[in-house]
Amino acid sequence: MRVLFLRPDNEDNELNEKLMILRKNGIEVLNIPIFKIKCVSYSLPTYDYEALAFTSRNSVICFKDRTLIKNVHKIYAIGEETAELLMKMYNVNPITPERFTSIELAKRILEDKVNSILSIRSRKASEDMRNILNGKIKYDEIYVYDSEIIRDNINEISKILTECEVDAIAFTSSLMAKLIGPFIRGKCNIIIFSIGPMTTETLKRVNNKVKIIESKTHSIKGIIETILVEMKRNGRD
């Protein structure tokens, strides 16, 4: 089985270690980055927030104000990997929603009766949290990183998918789904793996002709486990 595993360019060694699990189980992994993550300058609002929300690992990596993290009463995170990195870097145990989406995080913030929160995000972030929280609590966002698309790699992936050179493809973000989803052709019978609900919704929006297998645990570890289960179920290697 040959799997195209999409990722950002600057993922750390932890991802490579996790992908070794697939390789040790006889799966060939084609690991192609499709965008670069760049930390960008930002300014903090002059407000004493009750809570912070981190929406990805990159938001943790690119946020530099350690003092603010220590001073807020609550910290929220989307995703297992984001929470793990916060614990590793700052020794904090963030609150995470049951489903790792910005919509579910916004709902959890309202359930917890948080009065004010600053969300640490990408410049390409969706408006879901803002739409839900604005007017109900004091809600602000700062954008600490951006994504730069690697066009040559997009073209390479398009060729790979057009010529049916892989058995499966793993999408680990909505941006990846938006960029690559339209290139998938039904004739190839490629198995589509999605890391979670937001990525699945984007895939359905850009290509409604493919069947999607969504990871029950919305993390890199979860999608790898889902690939292994599917491989064994179909007897593919």
pLDDT above 90 covers what percent of the chain? 64
The token pair at 157 is: 């992936």
Residues facing 31 on adjacent strands: 5
The domain spans of the chain are 2-35+149-234, 38-147
Task: Say whether 38-147 and 2-35+149-234 share the same fold.
Answer: yes
Mean pLDDT of 195-221: 88
Which residue is it, tokens 């004010």? 116
Instruction: Report which of 85, 83, 81, 58 is spatially closest to residue 223, judged by C-alpha positions.
Output: 81
User: What phi and psi values does residue 199 have, to the nearest 5 degrees?
Assistant: -65, -40
pLDDT greater than 80 at residue 145: yes
Q: How does 122-140 read in b/e, with b if 16+ C-beta sit within 10 Å?
A: beebbeebbebbeeebebe
Using pLDDT thresholds of 50, 70 and 90, give the confidence band for residue 95.
Answer: very high
The token pair at 165 is: 């050179």
- CATH code of the region 38-147: 3.40.50.10090
Mean pLDDT of 183-190: 88
pLDDT greater than 90 at residue 114: yes
Q: Say how far apart CA 177 and CA 165 lie, in whole Å.
A: 18
The structure's pTM equals: 0.83
For 2-35+149-234, give the CATH class.
alpha beta
